[in-house]
Amino acid sequence: MDELNKIAVLYGGTSLERDISLKSGEAVYRSILDLGYKSNLIDFKGLSSLNILKKYDFIFIALHGFEGEGGELQRKLDALNIPYSGSSYEACFNTWNKALTKEILRQKNLKTPNWKLIEDNYKLESLDEDSNLLPFKKHSDKEFSSTIINTFGKKGSVFLKPITDGSSLDIYKISSNKQFLESIKSSSDPNRIFMIEEAIEGREFTMTIIDEQCYPPIEIITKNQFYDYDAKYLSNETRLEKAVLNNEEMENIMEISLSAFKALKCRAWGRVDLMQNINGEFYIIEINTVPGMTNHSCVPRSGQFLGLSFNDVVKKIINASL
């Protein structure tokens, strides 16, 4: 990092995660200044505007949503030979699509909750009382439950989520056909492709990985149904606790997280989200290549458990990316 002089923090953009990106970027920007480097905040204006970044020695990507996590930004920066934080195009592409992520994990024999795509990106006007919605026919909650059992082999709630987007936006825990319809209609973009995912009941964890080192796992404790957008960024009641696990569990969660990180070809830094069921088995939910860096975020919190300040964590991310 000593050879660096001027670092740009790329943030903002136009996605639904813009507000979080602004907070992440501002926090990272202040940290880079504290570390003694020249820096500028740059609000992302599209791939065609990236030539202005050539005057910087390094780009810290704090840009959430497709613009920062979908891979096209990384591919363009590689073409311009501009160093940047985090994973390359392939890993971002693989992790941005949750269904593709799960396919790759399954190929590597890594556990992830069962899922089923809801084909296709149907139109909002088709969501009426008489429509047939795959995989759920619009008839009754009993039929909905039957479909769940046929799909996942058990009763209970499932998650409805878009196969893209982050920050837990438009993710719903549902247990009836009525909730299914209401959730689709209330989402920010009903025309996306969604999937249903088996709900693993148990403890929720997240693992920060920087430079192929697993940081202390965090157990997420929330009063919400799950770790949704509100719990992540707005609620002061969400607790990010240092996970209490026995030796075997700790070895398992570290091995599984690092294996998933490598299977998706991630590099430098990221975050792996997991659930542990009542039998103690860990399931990978998703991998994040541009995690949040706000005062509510898990990555700096995990660093605290190692005695690292926010500035220390930012410096380690940059060093790992070079």
Which of 39, 85, 87, 288 is labelled catalytic?
A: 288
Residue 156 — φ and ψ, nearest 5°? 120, -175
128-158 residue pLDDT tens: 444 444 444 454 556 566 666 566 656 677 8
Lowest mean pLDDT among 103-107, 169-173, 186-190: 186-190
- Active-site residue, 288 included: yes
232 Cβ neighbours under 8 A, 6+ residues apart = 167, 168, 238, 292, 296
Q: What is the pLDDT of residue 157?
A: 79
Which of 12, 13, 15, 17 is labelled catalytic?
A: 17
Hey, what are 120's tokens?
A: 């296709």
Q: What is the pLDDT of residue 233?
A: 57
86 torsion bin: left (phi>0), alpha (psi -120 to 50), beta (else) = left
Look at residue 101 and give its three-state secondary structure. helix
What is the rounded CA–CA span in Å between residue 307 and residue 235?
25
What is the rounded CA–CA span in Å between residue 304 and residue 158?
34
Mean predicted confidence (pLDDT) in 251-274: 98
Lowest mean pLDDT among 46-55, 128-137, 157-166, 249-258: 128-137
Q: What is the pLDDT of residue 41?
A: 98
Which of 197, 233, 301, 302 is labelled catalytic?
A: 233
Give the start-end residues of each E strand in the chain: 6-11, 38-43, 58-61, 115-118, 158-162, 172-174, 194-198, 202-210, 213-214, 218-221, 239-242, 269-277, 282-288
Considering the entire predicted model, what is its pTM? 0.88
Comparing CA positions, the residue from 244, 225, 245, 224 lying closest to residue 235 is 224
CB atoms within 10 A of CB 3: 7
Do 8 and 40 contact (CB within 8 A), yes or no?
yes
> How do 202-210 and 213-214 pair as beta strands?
antiparallel
- Active-site residue, 132 included: no
Which of 87, 271, 283, 303 is labelled catalytic?
A: 271
> How do 58-61 and 202-210 pair as beta strands?
unpaired
Which of 65, 70, 292, 303 is labelled catalytic?
A: 292
- Active-site residue, 292 included: yes
Handedness of CA 19, 24, 27, 29 (dihedral sign): negative
- Active-site residue, 233 included: yes
201 Cβ neighbours under 8 A, 6+ residues apart = 156, 277, 278
Give, in order, the Cα–Cα distances in Å from 63 to each of 10, 23, 168, 223, 319: 6, 10, 16, 28, 19
User: Where residue 301 falls among pLDDT bands split at 50, 70, 90?
Assistant: very high
Q: What is the pLDDT of residue 134?
A: 46
Q: What is the pLDDT of residue 140?
A: 55
Comparing CA positions, the residue from 276, 313, 280, 319 lying closest to residue 298 is 313
What is the rounded CA–CA span in Å between residue 140 and residue 143?
5
- Active-site residue, 271 included: yes
Q: What is the pLDDT of residue 319?
A: 97
Strand order in the sheet with 58-61: 38-43, 6-11, 58-61
Which of 12, 286, 303, 321 is labelled catalytic?
A: 286
Q: What is the pLDDT of residue 106?
A: 96
Q: What is the pLDDT of residue 19?
A: 92
Highest mean pLDDT among 54-68, 182-196, 231-245: 54-68
Q: If you average pLDDT over every residue of the chain, what do you get?
A: 86
Q: What is the pLDDT of residue 152?
A: 65
211-236 residue pLDDT tens: 999 999 999 997 666 555 565 555 66
Look at residue 228 and give its three-state secondary structure. coil
* Domains defined along the chain, listed by start: 6-86 (3.40.50.20), 95-111+200-321 (3.30.470.20), 115-198 (3.30.1490.20)
Q: What is the pLDDT of residue 125?
A: 39
Q: For 115, which DSSP code?
A: E
Which of 273, 283, 297, 301 is labelled catalytic?
A: 273
Give, in order, the Cα–Cα distances in Å from 173 to each of 24, 161, 184: 27, 9, 12
Q: What is the pLDDT of residue 164?
A: 81
Q: What is the pLDDT of residue 271?
A: 97
Hey, what are 134's tokens?
A: 């795959």
Give, in order, the Cα–Cα distances in Å from 188 to each of 17, 86, 185, 192, 228: 12, 28, 8, 9, 15
115 Cβ neighbours under 8 A, 6+ residues apart = 99, 102, 195, 196, 197, 198
Which of 88, 167, 187, 297 is labelled catalytic?
A: 167
